[in-house]
Amino acid sequence: MNNYIKETPINFHIRNILLDNYRYKKRLKPLPLNPRHKLINHISVLFDTNVNEEFPSEIQCEFSKRTGRIKNFSIESNLFATLRKDGGLALSIFGAKMMVKYTQFRENCVIPKDEAIPFISEGRSLFCKHVEWCGKNVKNGSDVVVIDNRNEVLAVGKAICGNKMMKKFDSGVAVKIREGIKSRNTQQYQI
């Protein structure tokens, strides 16, 4: 007895479609794109900020050996940001200081009350009751920059709740700080 599936016109047609798709996918190559343009577009979309002309032209990218994707990038040998697998950017303190120069970027920032500033700059979490102001682009899970009233960067981190909840709640963590300006032996960047 033959153990093969009976070759009907439908099975034959489906098999040909699958083979054609496989052959087509093998031929596809990613479009060559200038890393600087890719990063500028990525930053513009993520942070709703237009950084086209003002962004420095000297960008050093580190690529993954296995996939060829950009892992992180630096400007003037200072780490600006790391690209995440989910498409997000993890800004460093240096990157946050450069981005705060753009007025539109302020909508991605959180301003704490004065009594919480020493703790946040050490790298401790920011709680909802200590939030004085937060921008409209602050959403749950988005990367945010914690600044003071003079637009000086205190820390970078990930928002645990959105901007409306930060303003409404009196308890709970608002921003989980990834890096503060005093959290480790970081260089004081002059920008």
pLDDT tens by residue, 14-72: 666 665 655 555 444 555 778 888 888 888 888 888 877 778 888 899 988 887 888 99
CB 155 within 8 A of CB 91: no
Identify the CATH number of the domain in which residue 49 sits: 2.30.130.10
pTM metric for this prediction: 0.76
142-162 pLDDT, tens digit per residue, is: 999 999 999 999 999 999 999
- Whether residue 25 is contained in a domain is answered as no
Count of domains in the chain?
1
Residue 121 lies in a domain: yes
Task: Answer whether residue 17 is part of any domain.
Answer: no
